[in-house]
Amino acid sequence: MKKQIVIAPSILSADFADLGNEVRAIDEGGCDWIHFDVMDGSFVPPITIGDNVCKAIRSHTDKPIDVHLMVNHPDTQVEAFANAGADIITVHQEACVHLERTLQYIRSLGKKAGVSLNPATPVSTIRHVLHCTDLVLLMSVNPGYGGQKYIHAVTDKIRECRAMLDEAGCDAWLEVDGGVNVETIEEVAAAGADAIVAGSAVYNKPDYAAAIAELRALASKAG
Ligand code: DX5
Ligand code: ZN
């Protein structure tokens, strides 16, 4: 069955000094999930926010918090984010030596388990963990920063991943993250994505609700 498209604004581009209000604004503005980017200064150069901030925003929204762990040794963070109220916890394939075990661990804590791939990492690397995957997050920029340009070579990879999920009978969400905006979202949705992360395309606009509605309309038209 075809899923409704999910719009997940990334709070990476929000005003961190006013995060409670920034989260409430996208919630009231009609988003589906809150995308929460965690960076450790090692897997990617910047350091952003951790489980304590996740806990702090939990009381500002009832919508799912979609945690994207761009960190090395993600197993050390999983339980803290589960306790902080995360709903989906996504780890990078490139950061996991025992990926199947990590995904099972996330599920054992009652959370949805996601796996993310950098642009250069082939889709085939997750073929054998689909039985314990609830979400695949394809990066369409090299992770680390908001506001980068969409890498068009990833569009073929979205198609390939869609085909792999369908063939395996896996109903995991196919989420795409990086450089998705009004210019690129139709290409992304048409290729088979059913969850879209948008940081600057929402938070750099004056009217978040209007930005979310426009992205949703374009994605629904194409998807
Ligand atoms: C990048 C993060 C993204 C980022 C997206 O490393 O994982 O979630 O915030 O930002 P935009 O939509 O501005 O590319
Ligand atoms: Zn992200």
**Per-residue model confidence as pLDDT tens digits over 28-73:** 999 999 999 999 999 999 999 999 999 999 999 999 999 999 999 9
Query: Which residues are placed with Cβ below 5 angstroms of ligand 2, an ion?
Result: 37, 68, 177
Structure tokens at 72: 């090395």
Of 32, 37, 40, 66, catalytic? 37
Q: What is the mean pLDDT of residues 193-199?
A: 98
CA gap 104, 166 in Å, rounded: 21
- pLDDT digits 0-9 by tens, 151-188: 999 999 999 999 999 999 999 999 999 999 999 999 99
DSSP for residue 126? G
Helix (H) or strand (E) holding 152: none
- pLDDT digits 0-9 by tens, 111-148: 999 999 999 999 999 999 999 999 999 999 999 999 99
Is 80 exceeded by the pLDDT of residue 3? Answer: no
- Give 35 Cα–ligand 2 centroid separation in angstroms: 7
**CB of residue 118 inside a 6 A radius of ligand 1:** no
CA gap 220, 32 in Å, rounded: 14
- In the chain, the N- to C-terminal Cα span, in Å, equals 13
Helix (H) or strand (E) holding 90: strand 88-92
| Residue 182 φ/ψ region, left for φ over 0, alpha for ψ in the -120 to 50 degree band, beta for the rest | alpha
CA gap 106, 80 in Å, rounded: 11
- Give 204 Cα–ligand 1 centroid separation in angstroms: 12
Q: Contact, 89 vs 105, CB < 8 A? A: no
Neighbouring C-beta atoms of residue 104, cutoff 10 Å = 14
- pLDDT digits 0-9 by tens, 89-118: 999 999 999 999 999 999 999 999 999 999
